[in-house]
């Protein structure tokens, strides 16, 4: 057993120097208990996780140990060597780093501390970054990507030699992504450079604090955890569900019906933040609100695709309280406070309870006053989901996605970064990497394959030895073979791979892509959405209705469209699936008629009707209905496991039904249900034993069927592309020339095809399959569901559609099935040509 | 002008400047009257060319391209083969090609007249390989060269542009490499395994064709699909 240093708070209590006490006293404040607790633990040498609600003075608490230490250290005497960075602050958002600098300046100046503080982000000019390296500030505020770059530079060891603390903000949101994996590896590197380094993690409430506590300290011994300080939630938020006088729609996500009532609320409050789940919803509601904005209230729009300049204008206006309402998506999601927001309206289902808590935290940033929020469900299932979310919030139940094992593509990036800094020994780096919590269980064999991948691509066919990017020296150390390699690394660092986007440029109507240079750029839209448009189609963007004129190179040309009806852009980016926790709450609510009282009449009436004509599933049951309609037969299942898992289930079930001779034609998946239609009576097949449901829904579908489907799936190609870019197989950009998304897409698909037929077990293919299983496919969730419902399938063979089936049936035709039928599509077009030639059309 | 479309064994007959030719779904063109097989833009050793620059593409593209080439050569058993330029991805490609690939290629070439047309990626004869290297060659009514001439031009067969076509139906889109022709000239799809495509609606194609007679022969799985120019989407 390894000796674990036992940390204990300083027995004399926290040492808060006199100037600090005076500063608090002058403001009539006292340091809060958790701030002092954290200080005491840190002064005793511990790493600490602080979990506290918004407005609890988290930031000051996190920096107090640093500020005190810096105050005690005193000024640098002339002639004394540069001291290097003392405290590194890392946040997921550039804007947050800037925000924190502003907030910290007040106490630093007020107390009169000799502390320098600077931000370093992708926006920091090169000359300033250069200067920071020569003369580092005491406190450096930065992002995970910038940390990776600093670590990969040759003078990293010197730059960080004086480092005492790392403060990790919004840790709960960092740890769930590949960015978190990159950061965990960076942290492991820092701890290797500075053995006594202490970490302080700041987080909103999470379901599993221990996972975050492990994250903050070296996993040596395995399972080691940081100390924990939890601050109980402040005043309970006042949350209500908008009880619309209008009819709540069966399906859809627009909530258009409720906009007059939302507008009334905006009128009654000083500043309203209106959150929606997708950018297309944001566009639609913004448009809708302005249509009824009789008082000409200043209402603005903010989402990630809009041009940066426009977003900055909105943020400025928000800060100076010049706006009455702002329609926003998750770009405003994290804990940045702007202006005096006194109401948060959430349109559509909140999807995950912790997401809801985060968003409500926006309103009224003072911990002791209750926040006020209104939920606006867009359809009847969302009414139940909102109710469940409210109950979850009151219970303090929070969910964040489970933390995943460290991604291998990120590891490859890190290994190359380490080689760029200085030659490394594989044994030592392997040990270091395993001190990072996400990589604690990494196999040596996998690690070695990653090193091979970094060197020569790691292919079974070894023809690239002479072109290796890193090579072993005589002493066995791995070093970069050419300075160009380090340059390529710097240009490709990071884990955020955006969907390929095209600029949206304004031109005069009818000019098309052939006409002139055009006018202003309105923002960016995902390429795959634009691909589905034909010239003349209209869509909503940047708050107006635009006519699509055409694509030229990396730009889409648009003009003003007449009228206000538009085909709305649908972005995949903003769609979050229903969380496991909320799903369970909704199932429980469905199964318990006593709880329907809390629901509006139109919704509870609907459930009662369903109970009478079909059935409602018990909490652990799966309800499957079959019925004929038109010329077709339908099968509708209600797993409540979220869109991604349902899509995967739909793909697999249609394969099985096909084999059973049910001649399925298609399927559609929502967050709540899945509908499959075909030419044979699937209900009769289930009861006769030709295709029993128990066999159809058996877990074994996750074996061969999944593999066979995955191999061909576009989902896997998209995932592969991301892995290949992160791992450095495909360059994000060349020096001086950024590749357009399309060029990357094409070559990534080609590489995928080549690898799949020649080396399907390549390390990057393994990484891709692992990613797809957890991400786009949600296989883990599907697997849990299938084992839960084993022997608990309730089949209702009906002679017509049931009330519960109406919402999903309305989705049919709205969403196309992304099957593997591209050759069929080609044949169809070619046939039309032949018919035309034969004079049949 | 109308183009008769006849599909045989997955391949489609076209007529270019009066010469009958067969568009094979693998991306090769066969002229039965001359026993001539044409492939374009093989880009052999593209993976290795990237690796030389530190980007470790899978080293399987050359083998895949040679497999495909062996299959079409075996199927048509041509007396002569034209490789229409950019046969290698870079100038040193042929010199550094691993020996097993060189032997494989030699076996495919053996017993046939073989013409390497020079391309922008490979302006010199491929080192250590048989065959004649020329800048262009005329066969019957047709002139074969790597880069298409700037203006509409009768009887030209060229490569270089990697033509691809896209159709959009019911919100879904399919993009495939294609033979691009208006009956007067033809631009070949790229044959190499790691080659991308350029949409025929791109400006680079604008002046090459008589657009009301244009047709794309899109490469499907084992079958060529003729699609009229006006049914194609840009992008």
Q: What is the DSSP string of B43-91?
A: -BTHHHHHHHTT----TTHHHHHHHHHHHHHHHH--SEEEE-S--BSST
Listed as ranges, residues in chain A with pLDDT below 70 are 1-13, 54-55, 74-76, 233-236, 330-339, 351-370, 392-401, 497-501, 509-518, 526-534, 553-554, 563-577, 711-715, 732-746, 775-776, 813-826, 828-841
> Looking at residue B48, what is its pLDDT?
92
Distance CA A116, CA A140 (A): 9
Minimal C-alpha gap between B75 and chain A (Å): 22
**A-proximal residues of B, 6-25, CB under 8 Å:** none
Contact list, A730 vs chain B (CB under 8 Å): 55
Measured between CB atoms, does A815 come within 8 Å of chain B?
no
Residue from B58, B100, B102, B224 to probe the interface with A (highest A Cβ count within 10 Å): B58
Contact call for B57 and A461, based on CB within 8 A: no
* Tokens encoding A106: 């007040």
Check: CB of residue A277 under 8 Å from CB of residue A379. no
Contact list, B195 vs chain A (CB under 8 Å): 750
Residue B10: band (very low, low, confident or very high) from pLDDT cuts 50, 70, 90? confident
Measured between CB atoms, does A764 come within 8 Å of chain B?
no
Distance CA A108, CA A68 (A): 11
pLDDT in tens, A103-133: 888 899 999 998 999 999 877 888 998 899 8
Distance CA A526, CA A503 (A): 9
Minimal C-alpha gap between A603 and chain B (Å): 33
Domain contains A578 = no
Are both A274 and A352 inside the same structural domain? yes
Contact list, A467 vs chain B (CB under 8 Å): 48, 51-52, 54, 56
Q: Which residue in chain A has the smallest CA separation from B4?
A: A837
Contact call for A456 and B5, based on CB within 8 A: no
> Looking at residue A330, what is its pLDDT?
63
Are both A246 and A213 inside the same structural domain? no
Peptide bond before residue A221 is cis, with ω within 30 degrees of 0:
yes
Instruction: Find the mean pLDDT for residues B2-20.
Output: 78
Contact call for A750 and B197, based on CB within 8 A: no
> Looking at residue A774, what is its pLDDT?
76
Contact call for A729 and B226, based on CB within 8 A: no
pLDDT: which is higher, B65 or A320 = B65
Contact call for A463 and B234, based on CB within 8 A: no
Are both A380 and A415 inside the same structural domain? no
- Domain end (from A362, A395, A428): A395
Contact call for B228 and A758, based on CB within 8 A: no
Domain contains A803 = no
> Looking at residue A654, what is its pLDDT?
84
Are both A414 and A385 inside the same structural domain? no
> Looking at residue A9, what is its pLDDT?
57
Contact list, B234 vs chain A (CB under 8 Å): 513, 550-551
Q: Among residues A575, A493, A584, A463, which one has the least CA distance to residue A529?
A: A575
> Looking at residue A515, what is its pLDDT?
47
Minimal C-alpha gap between A822 and chain B (Å): 6
Measured between CB atoms, does B195 come within 8 Å of chain A?
yes
Domain contains A654 = no
Are both A205 and A242 inside the same structural domain? no
How far apart, in Å, do the first and last CA atoms of chain A sit? 82
Q: Which residue in chain B has the smallest CA separation from A824?
A: B220
Contact list, B169 vs chain A (CB under 8 Å): 825, 828-829
Check: CB of residue B203 under 8 Å from CB of residue B35. no
pLDDT in tens, B35-49: 999 999 999 999 999
Contact call for A729 and B56, based on CB within 8 A: yes
Measured between CB atoms, does A322 come within 8 Å of chain B?
no
Are both A491 and A506 inside the same structural domain? no
Are both A43 and A181 inside the same structural domain? yes
Contact list, B56 vs chain A (CB under 8 Å): 453, 456-459, 464, 467, 469, 729
Check: CB of residue A742 under 8 Å from CB of residue A730. no
Minimal C-alpha gap between B171 and chain A (Å): 5
Measured between CB atoms, does A731 come within 8 Å of chain B?
yes
Are both A24 and A170 inside the same structural domain? yes
Q: Among residues A85, A54, A70, which one has the least CA distance to residue A169?
A: A54
Minimal C-alpha gap between A494 and chain B (Å): 17
Q: Is the pLDDT of residue B65 over 60?
A: yes
Measured between CB atoms, does B187 come within 8 Å of chain A?
no
Q: Which residues contact A629 (CB under 8 A, 6 or more apart)?
A: A800, A801, A809
Contact call for A759 and B61, based on CB within 8 A: no
Contact call for A758 and B52, based on CB within 8 A: no
How do B11-16 and B19-23 pair as beta strands?
Answer: antiparallel
Measured between CB atoms, does B172 come within 8 Å of chain A?
yes
Domain contains A102 = yes
Minimal C-alpha gap between A782 and chain B (Å): 27
Contact list, B218 vs chain A (CB under 8 Å): 826, 830
> Looking at residue A463, what is its pLDDT?
85
Residue of B58, B170, B221 with shortest CB distance to A823: B221
Contact call for B58 and A758, based on CB within 8 A: yes
Helices A444-456/A408-421 angle, 10° precision:
60
> Looking at residue A235, what is its pLDDT?
62
Measured between CB atoms, does A551 come within 8 Å of chain B?
yes
Domain contains A809 = no
Contact list, B63 vs chain A (CB under 8 Å): 758
**A-proximal residues of B, 125-164, CB under 8 Å:** none
Are both A63 and A207 inside the same structural domain? yes
> Looking at residue A571, what is its pLDDT?
42
- Domain end (from A739, A773, A807): A773
Q: Which residues contact A262 (CB under 8 A, 6 or more apart)?
A: A242, A274, A289, A345, A347, A374, A376
Are both A47 and A95 inside the same structural domain? yes
Minimal C-alpha gap between B154 and chain A (Å): 25
Domain contains A45 = yes
For A523-630, where are the alpha helices, taking DSSP H only? 527-531, 580-591, 601-613
Distance CA A602, CA A237 (A): 26
Q: Is the pLDDT of residue B32 over 90?
A: yes
Measured between CB atoms, does B188 come within 8 Å of chain A?
no
Q: Which residues contact B88 (CB under 8 A, 6 or more apart)?
A: B42, B43, B44, B45, B94, B97, B121, B122, B126
> Looking at residue A477, what is its pLDDT?
96
**Rounded to 5°, angle at Cα B89 from B87 and B94:** 70
Q: Which residues contact A613 (CB under 8 A, 6 or more apart)?
A: A798, A802, A803
**B-proximal residues of A, 479-538, CB under 8 Å:** 482, 484-485, 488, 513, 530-532, 534
**Residues spanned by the domain of A346:** 238-395
Measured between CB atoms, does A747 come within 8 Å of chain B?
yes
Are both A226 and A245 inside the same structural domain? no
Residue B170: band (very low, low, confident or very high) from pLDDT cuts 50, 70, 90? low
Contact list, A551 vs chain B (CB under 8 Å): 234-235
pLDDT in tens, A416-432: 999 999 999 999 999 99
Q: Is the pLDDT of residue B1 over 70?
A: no
Q: What is the ipTM of this complex?
A: 0.82
> Looking at residue A740, what is its pLDDT?
44
Are both A63 and A128 inside the same structural domain? yes
Contact call for B225 and A534, based on CB within 8 A: no
Q: How many angstroms from the chain centroid is the CA of residue A761?
A: 28
Minimal C-alpha gap between B52 and chain A (Å): 5
> Looking at residue A742, what is its pLDDT?
43
Distance CA A64, CA A42 (A): 9
- Burial annotation B65-95 (CB, 10 A radius, 16+ → b, else e): bbebbeebbeebebebbbbbbbbbbbebbbe
Please report, for residues A76, A699, A822, the alpha-carbon distance to residue A73 in angstroms, rounded to integers and kept in the order given: 9, 62, 68
Minimal C-alpha gap between A817 and chain B (Å): 9
Q: Give the largest CA-CA distance in chain B.
A: 51
Domain contains A697 = no
- Give the count of domains, chain A: 4
Q: What is the CATH number of the domain that holds A372?
A: 3.40.50.300
CB pairs under 8 A between A and B: 128
Identify the CATH assignment for B6-228 out of 3.60.21, 2.20.28, 1.20.58, 3.40.50. 3.60.21
Measured between CB atoms, does B216 come within 8 Å of chain A?
no
Q: Which residue in chain B has the smallest CA separation from A823?
A: B220
């Amino acid at each position: 057993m390894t000796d674990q240093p036992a940390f204990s708070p300083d027995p004399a209590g926290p040492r808060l120097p006199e100037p600090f006490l005076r500063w608090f006293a002058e403001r009539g404040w006292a340091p809060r208990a958790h701030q002092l607790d954290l200080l005491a633990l840190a002064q005793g040498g511990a790493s600490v996780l602080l979990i506290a609600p918004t407005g609890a003075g988290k930031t000051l608490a996190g920096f107090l140990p640093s500020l005190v230490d810096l105050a005690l250290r005193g000024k640098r005497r002339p002639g004394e060597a540069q001291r290097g960075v003392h405290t590194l602050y890392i946040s997921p958002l550039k804007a947050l780093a800037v925000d924190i600098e502003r907030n910290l300046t007040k106490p630093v100046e007020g107390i009169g501390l000799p502390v320098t503080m600077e931000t370093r982000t992708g926006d920091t000019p090169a000359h300033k970054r250069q200067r920071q390296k020569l003369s580092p500030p005491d406190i450096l505020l930065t992002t995970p990507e910038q940390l990776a770059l600093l670590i990969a530079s040759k003078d990293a060891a010197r730059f960080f030699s004086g480092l005492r603390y790392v403060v990790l903000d919004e840790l709960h949101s960092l740890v769930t992504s590949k960015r978190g994996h990159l950061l965990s590896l960076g942290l492991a590197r820092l701890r290797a450079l500075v053995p006594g380094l202490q970490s302080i993690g700041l987080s909103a409430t999470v379901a599993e604090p221990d996972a975050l506590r492990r994250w903050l300290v070296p996993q040596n011994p395995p399972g080691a955890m940081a100390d924990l300080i939890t601050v109980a939630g402040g005043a309970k938020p006042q949350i209500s569900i908008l009880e619309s006088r209008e009819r709540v729609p069966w399906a859809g996500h627009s909530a258009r019906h409720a906009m007059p009532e939302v507008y009334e609320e905006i009128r009654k409050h000083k500043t309203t933040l209106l959150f929606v789940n997708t950018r297309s919803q944001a566009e639609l509601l913004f448009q809708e609100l302005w249509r009824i904005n009789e008082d000409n209230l200043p209402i603005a729009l903010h989402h990630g695709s809009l041009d940066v300049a426009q977003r900055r204008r909105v943020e400025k206006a928000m800060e100076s309280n010049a706006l009455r309402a702002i329609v926003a998506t998750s770009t405003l999601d994290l804990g940045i406070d702007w202006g005096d927001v006194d109401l948060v309206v959430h349109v559509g289902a909140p999807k995950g309870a912790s997401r809801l808590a985060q968003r409500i935290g926006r309103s009224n940033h003072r911990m002791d006053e209750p926040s006020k929020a209104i939920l606006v469900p867009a359809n009847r299932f969302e009414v139940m989901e909102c109710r469940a979310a409210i109950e979850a919030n009151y219970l303090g139940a929070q969910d964040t996605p489970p933390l995943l094992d460290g991604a291998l593509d990120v590891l490859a990036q890190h290994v190359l970064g380490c080689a760029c800094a200085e030659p490394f020994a594989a044994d030592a780096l392997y040990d270091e990497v395993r001190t990072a919590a996400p990589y604690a269980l990494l196999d040596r064999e996998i690690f070695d394959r990653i090193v091979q991948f970094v060197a020569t691509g790691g292919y079974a066919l070894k023809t690239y030895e002479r072109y290796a990017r890193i090579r072993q020296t005589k002493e066995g150390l791995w070093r970069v073979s050419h300075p160009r390699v380090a340059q390529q690394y710097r240009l490709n660092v990071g884990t955020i791979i955006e969907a390929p986007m095209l600029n949206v440029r304004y031109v005069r109507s009818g000019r098309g892509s052939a006409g002139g240079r055009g006018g202003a750029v309105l923002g960016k839209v995902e390429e795959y959405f634009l691909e589905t448009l034909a010239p003349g189609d209209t869509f909503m963007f940047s708050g107006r209705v635009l006519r699509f004129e055409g694509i030229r190179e990396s730009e889409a040309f648009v003009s003003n469209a007449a009228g206000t009806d538009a085909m709305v852009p649908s972005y995949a980016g903003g769609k979050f699936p229903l969380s496991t926790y909320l799903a369970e709450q909704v199932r429980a609510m469905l199964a318990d008629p006593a709880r329907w009282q809390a629901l509006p009449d139109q919704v509870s009436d609907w459930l009662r009707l369903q109970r009478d004509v079909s059935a409602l599933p018990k909490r652990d049951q799966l309800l499957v209905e079959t019925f004929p309609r038109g010329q077709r037969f339908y099968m509708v299942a209600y797993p409540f496991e979220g869109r991604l898992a349902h899509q995967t289930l739909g793909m697999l079930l249609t394969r099985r039904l096909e084999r059973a001779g049910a001649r399925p034609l298609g399927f559609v998946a929502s967050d709540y249900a899945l509908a499959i239609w075909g030419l044979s009576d699937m209900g009769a097949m289930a009861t006769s034993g030709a295709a029993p449901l128990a066999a159809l829904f058996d877990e074994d579908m996750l074996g061969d069927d999944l593999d066979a489907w995955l191999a061909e799936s576009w989902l896997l190609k998209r995932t592969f592309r991301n892995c290949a870019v992160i791992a450095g197989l495909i360059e994000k950009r060349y020096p001086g020339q950024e590749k357009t998304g399309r060029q990357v897409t094409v070559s990534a698909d080609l590489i995928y095809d080549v690898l799949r037929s020649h080396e399907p077990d390549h390390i990057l293919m393994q990484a891709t399959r692992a990613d797809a299983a957890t991400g786009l496919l949600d296989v883990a969730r599907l697997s849990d569901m299938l084992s839960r419902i084993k022997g608990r399938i309730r089949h209702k063979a009906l002679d017509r559609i049931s009330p519960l089936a109406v919402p999903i049936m309305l989705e049919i035709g709205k969403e196309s099935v992304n099957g593997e039928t591209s050759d069929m599509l080609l044949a169809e077009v070619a046939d039309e040509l032949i018919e035309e030639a034969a004079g049949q059309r | 002008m109308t183009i008769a479309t006849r599909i045989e064994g997955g391949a489609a007959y076209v007529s270019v400047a009066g010469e009958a030719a067969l568009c094979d779904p693998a991306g090769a063109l066969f002229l039965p009257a001359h026993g001539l097989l044409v492939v374009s833009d093989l880009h052999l050793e593209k993976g290795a060319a990237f690796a030389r620059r530190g980007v470790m593409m899978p080293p399987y593209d050359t083998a895949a391209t040679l497999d495909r080439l062996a299959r079409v050569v075996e199927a048509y058993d041509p007396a002569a083969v034209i490789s229409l330029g950019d046969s290698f991805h870079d100038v040193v490609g042929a010199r550094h090609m691993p020996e097993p690939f060189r032997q494989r290629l030699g076996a495919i070439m053996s017993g046939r007249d073989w013409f390497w047309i020079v391309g922008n990626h490979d302006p010199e004869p491929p080192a250590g390989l048989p065959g004649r290297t020329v800048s262009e060659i005329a066969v019957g009514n047709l002139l074969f060269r790597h880069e298409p001439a700037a203006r509409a031009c009768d009887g030209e067969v060229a490569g270089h542009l990697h033509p691809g076509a896209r159709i959009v139906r019911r919100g879904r889109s399919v993009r495939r490499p294609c033979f691009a022709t208006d009956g007067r000239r033809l631009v070949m799809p790229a044959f190499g395994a790691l080659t991308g495509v350029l949409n025929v609606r791109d400006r680079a194609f604008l002046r090459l064709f008589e657009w009301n007679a244009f047709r794309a022969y899109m490469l499907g799985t084992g079958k060529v699909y003729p699609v009229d120019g006006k049914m194609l989407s840009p992008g």
